[in-house]
């Protein structure tokens, strides 16, 4: 079977992507070492963990040395931001959000390019609606996602043997979403957000698109009919 590496796989959207790819792919489950990651690997019999801190670049470089061929790389790991106005956002917040959401993604992609080229593989970037439109108090997060969009577009132009897909979901019903809504001071209504299973299905659909077609951008918005 083809091999897929999914970052941020221990819970939420990443775990759903892993579950939906498991029947057709050998899985490498990326994430910080945790009981949740180990449990998912046990649940998905035959899956292996890729338990690294993505911003520890020496650790990542060592971990990818054994990967000689990779069919699918799904960049799902990421962090939110503190939802401050630009005037109140400290430089540490900018560094943290951009490091996790953009720089670490670019470095993992760079390190895995030989394995992806070998397989003529597929890179999927789970972006965000914030990667297409920036709103007040979302500047660091939106900047990281606009940067992720640029990374995907450049990679697609530079690597003609690869397929590169950006997925732009609206807000998703996850633990991180609950935290963001609490920061915004609103009541949480899960029906107003996309289900992780629905976004995962879009990712899997892109991966399973026949090789004669190149799915480049997928935009998902919640309907409120969940």
In which residue ranges of the chain is pLDDT below 50?
none
Nearest to 152 by CA among 69, 64, 71, 74: 74
**How high is the pLDDT of residue 22?**
98
Residues 6+ apart with CB under 8 A from 226: 173, 190, 191, 193, 194, 195, 198
pLDDT at 184: 75
**Cα(35)–Cα(138) distance, rounded to whole angstroms?**
31
| Phi, psi of 71, deg, nearest 5 | -85, -35
| Rounded Cα gap, residues 212 and 30, in angstroms | 29
The residues facing 219 across adjacent strands are 168
For residues 22 and 44, the answer to whether their CB atoms sit within 8 Å is yes
Q: What CA–CA distance (Å, rounded) separates 60 from 93?
A: 23
Q: What's the CA gap between 120 and 141, in Å, rounded?
A: 31
**Judging by beta carbons within 10 Å of its beta carbon (0-12, 13-18, 19+), is residue 75 exposed, middle or buried?**
buried
Prediction pTM value: 0.94
Give me the active site residues, please. 141
Q: For residues 98 and 150, give the distance between their C-alpha atoms in angstroms, rounded to a whole number.
A: 13
Tokens of 177: 């979403």
> What is the pLDDT at residue 93?
97
CA 49 from chain centre, in angstroms, equals 16
What confidence tens digit (pLDDT) does each residue in 111-147 have? Answer: 999 999 999 999 999 999 999 999 999 999 999 999 9
Domains of the chain (ranges, CATH numbers): 3-220 (3.40.50.720)
**Calpha distance 157→171 (Å, rounded):** 28
Residue 193: the pLDDT is 86
pLDDT at 226: 61
């Amino acid at each position: 079977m083809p091999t897929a590496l999914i970052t941020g796989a221990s819970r939420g959207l990443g775990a759903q992507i892993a579950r939906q790819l498991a029947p057709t792919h050998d899985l490498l489950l990326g994430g910080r070492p945790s009981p949740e990651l180990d449990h998912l690997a046990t649940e998905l019999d035959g899956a292996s963990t890729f338990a690294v801190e993505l911003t520890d670049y020496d650790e990542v470089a060592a971990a990818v040395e054994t990967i000689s061929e990779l069919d699918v790389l799904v960049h799902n790991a990421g962090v939110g931001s503190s939802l401050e106005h630009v005037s109140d956002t400290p430089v540490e917040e900018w560094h943290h959000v951009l490091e996790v959401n953009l720089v670490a993604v670019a470095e993992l992609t760079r390190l895995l390019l030989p394995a992806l080229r070998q397989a003529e593989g597929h890179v999927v970037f789970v972006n965000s609606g914030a990667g297409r439109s920036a709103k007040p108090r979302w500047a660091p997060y939106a900047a990281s996602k606009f940067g992720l969009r640029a990374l995907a577009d450049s990679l697609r132009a530079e690597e003609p043997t690869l397929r590169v897909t950006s997925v732009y979901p609206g807000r998703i019903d996850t633990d991180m979403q609950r935290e963001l809504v609490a920061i915004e001071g609103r009541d949480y209504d899960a029906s107003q957000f996309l289900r992780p299973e629905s976004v995962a299905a879009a990712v899997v659909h892109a991966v399973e698109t026949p090789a004669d077609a190149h799915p480049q951008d997928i935009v998902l918005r919640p309907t409120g009919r969940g």
